[in-house]
Structure 1
């Protein structure tokens, strides 16, 4: 067996920070003061390689844009000549070509944007070194398994009575390898969530989606007892579903998809394929990348990129579309008007069988009700009515806001005749159409039945 194990690290992990701006290096050095690391600094790619030639380095964090040798080139060289060294890219610019080069050639472990958050930076370094430790442990176990197998071959020729004992030892080693591999998979999930922050940073806080979609998908997986592999793939897909949008302009990133013009709309329809292409080079991401590729397919076959229809769309993609649309409708990324959670679910229910899997929709609404305290639609006593369907005695189940966001009525308000007339008049004046979420007391329900 020719794969060589790295030397076991007994001292403090050595971190090499590379940036042509000394102020950045000084800030990082202050941040890491008191941490259990030995920190080395370099102001260029050439100086960094000189340091690495003199001593082993556990982790290199390099700025992307540097004169002479950029960060992606440096990390690609380190990947080729020092593959055991963990590689992180740090930059203040969203440059898709640099990202792709760093992923494909430098095989970077993480990507951090400037300005960074100190706690997130420290967490990223800890997780990266923990991942490295687990990979070294995996290689150690692989070597140990190979060594044990060679000993077994020698003993089998002369000492057959030892076969059972050695087989048991090998099984234990295999179990340990399985555990180590599962830990590596879990580390990938964590890594994708950290990487998803890159997409979020391109949007203002009110437009960010990834964290909420990840949490919603996790709630669905937990409530339905989905297996660990499926849950892991769905979580990674939720974290990186929009990574293909990183090359868009800031304006296009925040424009509702329904308002995009011809050229931008074609570019929008290409983002699932772009996202899949970025992730397919990473073997543990292949299944998640397939879910991302098809998450904009529609149940009636009018979606993209492949116009898949019905059950031909992977289950995970159907679920991801529900979660993505539910959150993006509330962020104003699909329609010009931002919806509340109940309005978004009414929209989803309206398009069940056209955009969404009809057998998943009601189940998804129940999951949203378990996940979000402000969802009332799952309550069978709540009705969604137009203003002209309202009658005195009904009770608002949630706040009613105008299209411009102004609060019209608070939840819990009991409607009367004059109030209903004012709502109808205000709706006509604003050229709006409100969906009113109300509870109907039994006596009002009885009166309606008698009238009908």
Structure 2
């Protein structure tokens, strides 16, 4: 006969099966474990214990050694074979060494306990057994988890390289598509600017290609002077659009050479760079171009328009466009009534270096036009105090009105010296003229 009993109302921490053919032993074990939160199941024979194990999940089996039909050794061997995860303890009241050794070998028991037992020692054994079982189960769980993760990692590694190649190909295709779209937008934008330039020429009655020739020459000068491709492109676009501010002019004003303008017509004409800047400013991509258009009619000596800016305060790109514009305008009769051939227009631009034009820009222009350097032909440049910059080198002695030596040839001008010269000029009430070596007239093609 067998009996099953549960001790404790709360959820048990572990389940213990006690198997013994003596009811008093089972009762003693129930009393012992009543103080613990264990779930206790009892069976009065090995067969009854097997029946319990077939229906219940048991953590520990405590079995008597001497039982009828199936002894403890045979029962624990059956438990080991069918429920290897269940810990097995042997309870024996006989000092039978051979039987105990057989139980240990066949049933692979965790511990054996002799009757009568020490309750504290038995509870300690149970707790140790449960802790060992918990650690063993956790170890098995981690081993299974590790195997699963290793399998997943192997699968990932097997496909990762191909995934990377596929993703890289997708990104590359997307980048190429974006780049192609960007290039198309840039191309369409530049085409639109060229169309607009042609419309400006049609409105003004200029010779076809007038703006394109100015733009091409300005870009060549810019590149020769070391500007970046982006800066040279801005100069090119400014060349195409530099006369957009004239679109509102009447026909009579558009067809008149600049040298013949007077009164209101001249005042209105001199505003066209400002109008051009205002028309281009709303476009973010043309902000730099708008600034070039505004300043392209300024003169190096400060006598230009619309702002009267002088020297290196004029943006370099605008100084470049000024040379390209006037070279073309001289040939078309847009500056003076007489049309000039390219050679005469070139000579006139060179003659105006240091006055109307930046000498450095004229040098680059002359190199492009003739294939020769202008530096050997131009030994020095005459400048007033306001045109001087630190670092310039005198090509002649500087004398006062009374003939006194102020500065000698080859003197390198400093910021302090320029202030002293300006003060001297103010006190003397006269304008000084200094001759500067052309090769040291300013920092090489910079806008500093």
Give the TM-score range, shorter chain. 0.3 to 0.5
Normalised by the size of structure 2, how large is the TM-score? 0.43
Larger Rg belongs to: 2
